[in-house]
Structure 1
Amino acid sequence: MDGADSPRTPLLSVIQDSLLPKSVSIALKCLLVGINIASITIGVIYINDCPGQYLIPYYLIISGVACLLYLSMTCLPCIDEDQVTSVNLANLCAQGVMLLFLFAFFIAGNVWIYSLTHEPWDNPSSLKRCNRVLYLYAFWTITLCHLCFLVLLCTYLCLLLGLYILKWSIFGGSRN
């Protein structure tokens, strides 16, 4: 189906092809669904237990819902196995808008979570107190996100270095 009737365009084919095996992709999505459901649950349970930064429970709830919505959008192309699956432009635009929102909200969450200092948890007179479970969950999930981004960045840079070394060895250092 490489003719004019093909639902896959050259520009979108790179985006449509999965980089990971299907089983790994499903396992990662299931893990992310569990983490986001836990975020929503903890945010709802402790919604009024963080006077030091009252936006932290809202951050967990909204980011959890937005991530679940984004994950559901990534599953849309593979719903029907009988037909040739193709990602339509509207879905890609919606995913892009959702990623921009999640990125901006991630930055806001960093400000809200890291601005709260480690006060004694059980000091009711402190204005900067926050429920221990709520704060530690938010702190460690956002810190793990930073670590994942760092691993991805290092992997990307190592791949670029490997490609540069490969190019240099093949072309013998010439500038072709």
Structure 2
Amino acid sequence: MKKNPSRQQVVCCNVLPFALLVAYIVMGAMYLNDCPQEPYIPIYLIVLGAFGMVPIFSSCCCQPCSPGSGSCANLKIIFNIWSSMVSLFLVCWFICGNVWIYSIYQPNYNQTQPNSTQSVTEHLYCNKILYLFAFWTNTLNYLIFLGFCVFLCCCCCCGFAIFACAEGEGVKGVPVEEKDFPDVENL
């Protein structure tokens, strides 16, 4: 029988992501009007933080459900559908945020002086703290995803190697003799 994680385990695993999502909302709200070069960056952070909390809350809310409870099972299905829709939206929103953030790399951070290509009337800038926060959190997401992919590839390679050895293939296709493996039935 599969045992569900306790509510304390779920809450502990969600503390760091929740803190990051709160930081998204706070940074976006604090610097809402401080990036005229790309005004969607603070909005991106606020929406990402707010909608990113939906899967966290649904994972915490659905924990006390017992497997035999009918109404709780229906609630869990609704939460799963809603979380899936929100996750799909977040992937699309993340792509939009990448366009907004990386398209203005390196922005003008100086609020008082225009770039050499801009006149004073068309002065555009982006708050340095806001931009670097958005830039590095997005870049960190990519690095975490890359690390996960490398880990997954290593697991697949190890699994393939173990499977190949178990099927009687040694290193480089050399057959392994039967006497090399202990007889499991006689243990």
| TM-score (ref. length: structure 1) | 0.78
2:58 corresponds to 1:73: yes
Contact 1:53–1:112 under 8 Å retained in 2? yes
CA distance in 1, matches of 2:61, 2:142: 28
Amino acid at match of 1:108: C
Give the deviation of 1:78 after TM superposition.
Answer: 1.1
CA distance in 2, matches of 1:119, 1:108: 18
Amino acid at match of 2:109: W
Match of residue 93, structure 1, among 81, 100, 118 = 81
Amino acid at match of 2:138: I
Amino acid at match of 1:148: I
The answer for the alignment partner of 1:103 in structure 2 is 91
SS in 2 for 1:44: helix
The answer for the alignment partner of 2:166 in structure 1 is 170
Runs of at least 5 residues in structure 2 that lack an aligned partner in the other structure: 116-122, 174-187
2:71 corresponds to 1:114: no
CA distance in 2, matches of 1:26, 1:88: 17
SS in 2 for 1:122: coil
Q: Higher RCO, 1 or 2 (CA under 8 Å, sep at least 6)?
A: 1
CA distance in 1, matches of 2:158, 2:144: 21
Give the deviation of 1:98 after TM superposition.
Answer: 1.1
Runs of at least 5 residues in structure 1 that lack an aligned partner in the other structure: 3-12
CA distance in 1, matches of 2:56, 2:147: 21
SS in 2 for 1:78: coil
Amino acid at match of 2:49: G
CA distance in 2, matches of 1:154, 1:17: 28
2:10 corresponds to 1:28: no
Give the deviation of 1:29 after TM superposition.
Answer: 0.8
CA distance in 1, matches of 2:7, 2:146: 24
Give the deviation of 1:17 after TM superposition.
Answer: 5.4
Amino acid at match of 1:93: I
The aligned runs of 1:1-176 (5 Å cut-off) are 25-79=10-64, 83-84=66-67, 88-124=76-112, 125-126=114-115, 127-173=123-169
CA distance in 1, matches of 2:83, 2:8: 22
Contact 1:117–1:128 under 8 Å retained in 2? no
Cα–Cα, structure 1 residues 78 and 25, in superposed 2: closer, same or farther, change >3 Å?
A: closer
- For residues 115-167 of structure 1, the C-alpha deviation after alignment (integer angstroms, 9 at most, x for no partner) is 11213411532444200111011011111111111111111111111111111
CA distance in 2, matches of 1:76, 1:22: 9
Contact 2:109–2:127 under 8 Å retained in 1? yes
Shift >6 Å, 4+ stretches: 21-24
Q: Which has the larger radius of gyration?
A: 2
RMSD: 2.6
| TM-score (ref. length: structure 2) | 0.74
